[in-house]
Structures are given as C-alpha cells and as structure tokens.
C-alpha cells in the first residue's frame, strides 16, 4: 500500500477545470455559494466536514438560517441535548445554517450552506435557499457531496466534477453528469439553481466503502483541493493533511491485521492502477506533477 503524500486528486477521474470559476475584471468581487448536507449525500460525512473545516478556517459568520419545523421529521432527524460552557442543558435542533466569509487576499466571498437533508417539502426548502442566495448576491453555486464506492483508501480519492450548465462546461472543460437514479437534496438543489439562472457545479468524492464511518479526512482534503482549483484561492489545509495521513496509516494497520481485507484492498489497488494506465500521457503526468509540487508545500506537516 502506498504511503500518503498529501495529494488526493485522481488523474483522469474527470476533466480538470481549466481556469477560474468565473472570469472577473480586476477589483470586481464575486460570491460563490458552497453547500453540503448531512445524510444520504454525505458518505463518511466528508462533504459536510470539508465545508465545516473551511468555514472555521476562514472565520465564517452566521447570516441566516432555515427554520427546522417546516422541513424535518424529528423522530427521524432527532434533536440532541448538549451542555453549554456553564453546564446548562440546551436542545440543539436540526437546521440549515448559512454563513458568510471572505477568502483571504482575494476578491471572492463565500456563502456556506450547512445543514441536514430535509424530510419534507424539498421544493419549498430549495426555493427558500435560493431566496437567501439572491439576497446575498450569489453568482455561482458549488454543491459538495460524497458517495460510497469500490475504491482503495491507499490511492488518491476520486472527485468527479460536473455541471449541467453548457457555458460553464465548455469554459471549465467539464462534463455533464451521466447519473440516472434516486437523488438527494444536492441533486434537487442543482436543478433548481440552474432553473433560477445560477451556474452550478457539483463535486462528488468517492469514499472507500469499507471505511465508511466518519470522519473521512482524506476525502475531505480531496474535496477542498477541488474547491481550491475552482475558485483559485489557496487553502490552509495543513491540519487536515496531518489528519488524512494519520487516517491512512490507521486503515493500513487495520487492513494488515486481516488477511481477507488486505487481499481485497490489493485487488482494488490493482484494478485502480490498471484503469489509470491509459491516462498516463506526458501531458497528464506533467499536470499531476505540477499540482503535487504546489500542494506539497501547503500540506506537508
């Protein structure tokens, strides 16, 4: 099994963005909404945890929320009780919280949407989110999700990038999603955002199904690297890179203790390496090496 080197993108997983998400004039500010939801769209909680990490690093301030009573079945998504700093018991209700932050040394403002997939009224829920997007002058939407897949933990975490906006696909060298089947709130919000005239990109990380429990820091890191490419703002991921390295070492140790799991991981590694061989062109190798050098300085503990 390979050791962790801090680079979690996958050559050939999807066409790579060629440039900044939105071309803007010097000094002009843009606002990008980053949204992730706990639940069905969030394997290993990688999507929601990645945005929580970035929101914390950038010091996001809460600017709005969506009331829980209209959208949640509390017998399914139960409130939790916590004690505050003074020892008092407080009930925390499931909700959707909206934060705003400015990316350091850039012209990008970010709106973070963090919540739990609702139980009811998805059309009304997404419409309410778009009202907030309009009020906050959002220019672009980036939806972040994670799914379970037959991928090895010891290889770069695949992150697919897609868009159903034809203009955006052409400019960023993306593809439309080919998925057909049941969707979660991320898929619904993607369609509704496009219908509202908001260009939308979807990012999905593939989390190894045999280590699906949260947290999944390596998948978080892969998602944040893809966000970094889209908005062209360097992200401080040192802390997360250390957690990802420790996570991979821990999974390596667990796998070596069970011969069947170790054999299964080797099978996944061989399949992955074989699938990547056609992509090993000079251009793709150069691109990945350049990406590795850029990240090595940021992610190296």
Question: In this structure, is the dihedral angle defined by the CA atoms of residues 7, 8, 10 and 14, taken in order, positive or negative?
Answer: negative
Question: Quick check: helix, strand or coil at residue 147?
Answer: strand
Cα 129 to Cα 135: distance, rounded to the nearest angstrom: 10
Residue 281's pLDDT is 53
217 DSSP assignment:
H
In sequence order, what DSSP letters do the residues of 161-196 get, joined into one string?
A: EE-S-HHHHHHHT-B-----S---HHHHHHHHHHHT
The CATH code belonging to domain 30-257 is 3.40.50.10900
Residue 18's pLDDT is 45
Q: Which of 29-38, 116-125, 151-160, 276-285 comes out lowest in average pLDDT?
A: 276-285
What are the distances in angstroms from CA 30 to CA 25, 166, 209, 223?
Answer: 10, 20, 37, 21
Cα 16 to Cα 35: distance, rounded to the nearest angstrom: 21
* In the predicted structure, residue 145 carries a pLDDT above the cut 90: yes
Cα 223 to Cα 139: distance, rounded to the nearest angstrom: 21
More confident: 11 or 226: 226
Tokens of 178: 């080919």
Q: What angle do CA 180, 32, 296 make, to 5 degrees?
A: 90
User: Is 187 buried (19+), middle (13-18) or exposed (0-12) by CB count in 10 A?
Assistant: middle
Residue 258's pLDDT is 86
Q: What angle do CA 196, 47, 291 make, to 5 degrees?
A: 100
Each residue's pLDDT tens digit, 90-106: 888 888 999 999 999 88
* In the predicted structure, residue 109 carries a pLDDT above the cut 90: yes
Residue 173's pLDDT is 86
Residue 242's pLDDT is 95
Cα 143 to Cα 48: distance, rounded to the nearest angstrom: 11
Question: Quick check: helix, strand or coil at residue 124?
Answer: helix
Question: In this structure, is the dihedral angle defined by the CA atoms of residues 128, 129, 133 and 139, taken in order, positive or negative?
Answer: negative
Torsion of CA 90, 92, 98, 99, to 10 degrees: 40
Each residue's pLDDT tens digit, 190-233: 999 999 999 999 999 999 999 989 999 999 999 999 999 999 89
* In the predicted structure, residue 20 carries a pLDDT above the cut 80: no
pTM: 0.82
Q: What angle do CA 290, 292, 296 make, to 5 degrees?
A: 125
């Amino acid at each position: 099994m390979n050791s962790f080197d801090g680079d979690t993108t996958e050559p050939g997983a999807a066409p790579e963005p060629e440039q900044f998400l939105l071309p803007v004039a010097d000094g002009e500010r843009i606002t990008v909404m980053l949204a992730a939801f706990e639940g069905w769209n969030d394997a290993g909680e990688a999507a929601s945890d990645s945005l929580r990490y970035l929101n914390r690093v950038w010091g996001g301030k809460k600017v709005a929320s969506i009331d829980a009573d209209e959208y949640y079945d509390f017998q399914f998504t139960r409130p939790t009780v916590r004690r505050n700093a003074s020892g008092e018991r407080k009930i925390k209700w499931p909700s959707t919280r909206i934060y705003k932050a400015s990316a350091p040394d850039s012209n990008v403002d970010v709106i973070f949407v963090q919540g739990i997939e609702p139980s009811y009224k998805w059309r009304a829920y997404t419409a309410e989110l778009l009202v907030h997007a309009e009020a906050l002058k959002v220019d672009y939407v980036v939806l972040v999700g994670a799914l379970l897949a037959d991928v090895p933990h010891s290889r770069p975490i695949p992150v697919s990038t897609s868009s159903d906006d034809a203009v955006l696909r052409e400019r960023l060298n993306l593809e439309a999603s080919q998925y057909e089947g049941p969707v979660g709130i991320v898929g619904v919000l993607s369609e509704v955002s496009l219908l509202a005239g908001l260009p939308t990109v979807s990012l999905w990380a593939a989390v190894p199904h045999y280590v699906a429990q949260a947290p999944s820091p390596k998948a978080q890191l892969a998602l944040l690297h893809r966000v970094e490419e889209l908005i062209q703002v360097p992200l401080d991921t040192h802390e997360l890179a250390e957690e990802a390295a420790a996570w991979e070492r821990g999974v390596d140790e667990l796998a070596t203790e069970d011969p069947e799991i170790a054999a299964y991981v080797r099978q996944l590694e061989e399949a992955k390496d074989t699938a990547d061989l056609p992509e090993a062109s000079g251009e793709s190798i150069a691109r990945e090496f350049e990406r590795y050098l850029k990240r090595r300085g940021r992610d190296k503990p």
